[in-house]
Amino acid sequence: MPTGFSHSLLGVAAGKIFGSERFKKTKIRFWILSFICPSLPDLDVIGYYLGIPYAHVMGHRGITHSLFFALIMAILITIIFFRSEKFSSKNNLLIATYFTLIIASHGLLDGFTNGGHGIAYFAPFINDRYFFSFNPLQVAVLNPKKFFTEQGFDVLKNEFMWLWLPTIIILIINAIVHRTNKKFNEIKNRNGK
Ligand SMILES: [Zn+2]
Whole-number Å distance, alpha carbon 65 to ligand 1 midpoint, is 7
CA dist 127 to 62, 117, 118, Å? 8, 12, 11
Whole-number Å distance, alpha carbon 174 to ligand 1 midpoint, is 27
Domain count, the chain: 1
* pLDDT digit string, tens, across residues 86-110: 999 998 999 999 999 999 999 999 9
pLDDT of residue 124: 96
pLDDT of residue 144: 67
* Residue numbers of the chain with a pLDDT score lower than 70: 1-2, 20-24, 142-144, 146-147, 193
Whole-number Å distance, alpha carbon 86 to ligand 1 midpoint, is 32
Question: 44: exposed, middle or buried (C-beta count within 10 Å: 0-12, 13-18, 19+)?
Answer: buried
Whole-number Å distance, alpha carbon 94 to ligand 1 midpoint, is 25
pLDDT of residue 107: 94
Domain limits at 86? 4-192
pLDDT of residue 20: 62
pLDDT of residue 89: 92
pLDDT of residue 80: 95
